Amino acid sequence: MRSDYETLKLDRVENHILIVTLNRPERANAMNTQMGLDLRDLWRDLYVNAEDVRCVILTGADDKAFCAGGDLKERNGMTDAQWQEQHAIFEQAVMTMMDVPPPIIAAVNGVAYAGGCEFVLLSDFAYGATHARVALTEVTLGIMPGACATQMLPRAIGLRRAKEFLLTGTPCSAQEAFEWGIFNKLCEPADLMNEALATARKICANAPISIRQAKKSLNMSTQIDFRNGYMFEIEAYNRMVPTEDRQEGIRAFNEKRKPVYKGK
């Protein structure tokens, strides 16, 4: 897996945790074309071969911004064709992010506006610093969300609240984001990464094949009917029966020790 990204900083923690930092602090970590390419390539590489990464934490550089959305200075003066070409790159980044096998935790350390808010929604779940603010501001700029917000936001907070939030473009506080269901937990800024890491460690201690299969099945629950969703769940379940990790989990339980999972 590459580590030489121009707009991303990658850090490995305790072998199985990958911290991905959106690293354009001079532009509030706004997403330019290069960041779109970098994210697309990173998520693609994790899909093809996650190596020993079992959980990803996505955050922003500095303590003011998670991601301010698309870089409007770069977009200023773009032709329609250039705009759509750039957005196609962002679309690829979005689609590959949704397919990443390891869970992605967003550690929202500041403002998450527009596309930044969409990164939060695309993550498997999110923790927010108490000073964070979240908004989908696209309609105030003559456009609309184009990175799955119209699909992910209603699933997170309900359709009626999603309409109010999106159609006004009004930011919400971290407390509101927590109460609505955008954030799973609120943290003091100094504790945010430690809280995200503590949860990542719990995930990494579990069987990695189980985590991947459970994530796939959970994602499918919002896309198909109940009976077919259950059939998908059973197929995912059966994938784990012949694994070494399943045998290790049962053996460790009976031996009253912590299991050592190898993803096999």
Q: What is the pLDDT of residue 123?
A: 98
Say if residue 162's pLDDT is above 90.
yes
Distances 161 to 116, 176, 180 between C-alpha atoms, Å: 19, 11, 8
Distances 15 to 18, 55, 201, 219, 223 between C-alpha atoms, Å: 8, 10, 11, 26, 33
Highest mean pLDDT among 67-76, 123-132, 221-230: 123-132
Distances 107 to 38, 223, 226, 252, 255 between C-alpha atoms, Å: 19, 26, 32, 32, 36
Q: What is the pLDDT of residue 203?
A: 97
Q: What is the pLDDT of residue 263?
A: 87
Q: What is the pLDDT of residue 236?
A: 93
Say if residue 227's pLDDT is above 80.
yes
The two most distant CA atoms of the chain are separated, in Å, by: 66
Cα–Cα dist 189/109, whole Å: 7
Q: Which two tokens stand for residue 218?
A: 């959970």
Strand partners, 18: 12, 56
DSSP string, 25-81: GGGTT-B-HHHHHHHHHHHHHHHH--TT--EEEEEESTTTEEE-SB-HHHHTT--HH
Say if residue 90's pLDDT is above 80.
yes
Cα–Cα dist 119/137, whole Å: 14
Q: Which region, left, alpha or beta, applies to residue 51 given φ > 0 means left and ψ of -120 to 50 means alpha?
A: left
pLDDT confidence bin for 169, thresholds 50/70/90: very high
Say if residue 1's pLDDT is above 80.
no
Q: What is the pLDDT of residue 152?
A: 96
Over residues 92-96, mean pLDDT:
96
pTM of the shown model: 0.94
Mean pLDDT of the chain: 95
Residues belonging to the active site: 118, 138
Say if residue 132's pLDDT is above 90.
yes
Say if residue 15's pLDDT is above 90.
no
Q: What is the pLDDT of residues 38-88, one digit of tens each?
A: 999 999 999 999 989 999 999 999 989 999 999 999 999 999 999 999 999
Domain limits, the chain: 8-204, 208-254
Asked if the domains at 8-204 and 208-254 fall in one CATH topology, the answer is no
- The residue among 120, 132, 136, 135 whose CA lies nearest residue 174 is 132
Say if residue 251's pLDDT is above 80.
yes
| Rg, the chain, Cα only | 19
| Residue in the block written with tokens 């970590």 | 29
Tell which CATH classification among 1.10.12, 1.10.3470, 2.60.120, 3.10.450 matches the domain 208-254.
Answer: 1.10.12
Q: Please state which architecture CATH assigns to domain 8-204.
A: Alpha-Beta Complex (3.90)
